Amino acid sequence: MSVSIGIHDLSFATGEFVLSHAALAEHNGTDLGKYHVGIGQQSMSVPAADEDIVTMGAAAAAPIIARHGKSQIRTVVFATESSIDQAKAAGVYVHSLLGLQSACRVVELKQACYGATAALQFALGLVRRDPTQQVLVVASDVSKYELDSPGEATQGAAAVAMLVGADPALLRIEEPSGLFTADVMDFWRPNYREAALVDGQESITAYLQAVEGAWKDYTEQNGRPLEEFAAFVYHQPFTKMAYKAHRHLLNFCGHDTDADAIGRALGQTTAYNAVIGNSYTASVYLALAALLDQADDLAGRALALLSYGSGSVAEFFSGTVVAGYREQLRTEANRAAITRRTPVDYAGYRALHERAFPSDGGDHYTPAQTTGPFRLAGISGHKRVYEAR
């Protein structure tokens, strides 16, 4: 009898500050409806000067460690596309901040917003090989575009941590997966740039092509029929993209694209992404958290997940919600992570956006802004210095 493997626990963290799209619209003269309705975004998380992918990742993972302990975690997989180092995995810093055992492998994975799903699949394979171990998957990103660019309104920041193991308490991940890769330049960030480059229309087209391709492969691998899924969890660079993707999938499958039916299929997945903004690798799993926190009892129901990363790679896969999952949810903490953010005006956001460490290798310290459990204290001798609060 094959062992059941999947997501045993899930927790997330986001930035200290929040910029409303009303404030952004007031600055640039945009009709607020373009943000609230057009792209489906209300606000965006903005990291403090002493926050980054490591502090958010550690903050997301700390509640999981507090609940389950450290002894079975033999691997940490950190997924990001806003990496802080070309050699050292950000997860090594997280490993240290959390005080995990030294008998542990740590690696960083990258493929745009798809990276966390690659990390999840990596974790599933490790647990299948040794069901006594657990894998900590961390997806953490800061989405950053140039000021006054079309992508500015989709920025955000968050980290999701998932504990992957046998006999999971939340979601059993199923086989098969539908896979798709195409070489497209819809979104990219060369090493010499802080902000990403994006071809907005090309990115939407590439996403829809990937949805179609991943679904086609999923059906060829004898996956579930469309009608069996209770909900659809999509990567959300902006929440309206999930609606575009699902409508495209329904059209491709010859189904009606009734607005109410689409709303029922994915409406409960957008609540967190709509107010946090694009969190790249964390986005699809924030959508999963929002669904589990809000939906009526999903125990025993099948969920579809579509993970997309520009460039491009996509995966369509499914999971079954485990009986008793509601006892494991972190709904109150998840909502608190959002409501605790301090509003920032456009000038304050702009100052944080433009802030960068000098590259001279000197001692540069960050102002203490975060109220989270971990902070980036500064940089010294080209070394990032982190501390627990």
Which residue in 113, 212, 246, 315 is the catalytic one?
113
Do residues 68 and 135 touch, judged by C-beta distance below 8 A?
Answer: no
Which secondary-structure segment (H or E) carries 303? strand 302-309
For 189, list phi and psi in degrees, rounded to 5.
-145, 100
Burial of 220 by CB count in 10 Å (0-12 exposed, 13-18 middle, 19+ buried)? exposed
Backbone angles phi, psi at 293, to 5 degrees: -75, -25
Query: What are the structure tokens assigned to 116, written together?
Result: 């966390």
- Annotated catalytic residue 27: no
Q: Are strands 302-309 and 229-234 parallel, antiparallel or unpaired?
A: parallel
Asked whether the beta carbons of 121 and 177 are under 8 A apart, the reply is: yes
Q: Which amino acid belongs to residue 281?
A: T
Distance CA 308, CA 206 (A): 10
Assign 3-class secondary structure to 146-213.
Answer: CCCCHHHHHCEEEEEEEEEEECCCCEEECCCCEEEECCCCCEECCCCCCCCEECHHHHHHHHHHHHHH
In sequence order, what are the residues at sequence separation of 6 or more whose Cβ sits closer than 8 angstroms to the Cβ of residue 266?
231, 232, 233, 234, 242, 243, 246
Q: Out of 8, 21, 95, 235, pick the active-site residue.
A: 235
Assess whether 104 carries a catalytic annotation.
Answer: no
CA angle 275, 387, 12 (to 5 degrees): 25
How many other CB atoms are there within 10 angstroms of residue 53's CB atom? 32
Residue 229: Cβ-neighbour burial (10 angstroms; 0-12, 13-18, 19+)? middle
Check 16, 81, 108, 212 and give the catalytic one.
81
If you search the block for the tokens 């029922």, which residue do you land on? 264
**281, two tokens:** 């690798």
> What distance, in Å, lies between the first and last C-alpha atoms of the chain?
46
Residues marked active site are found at 81, 113, 235
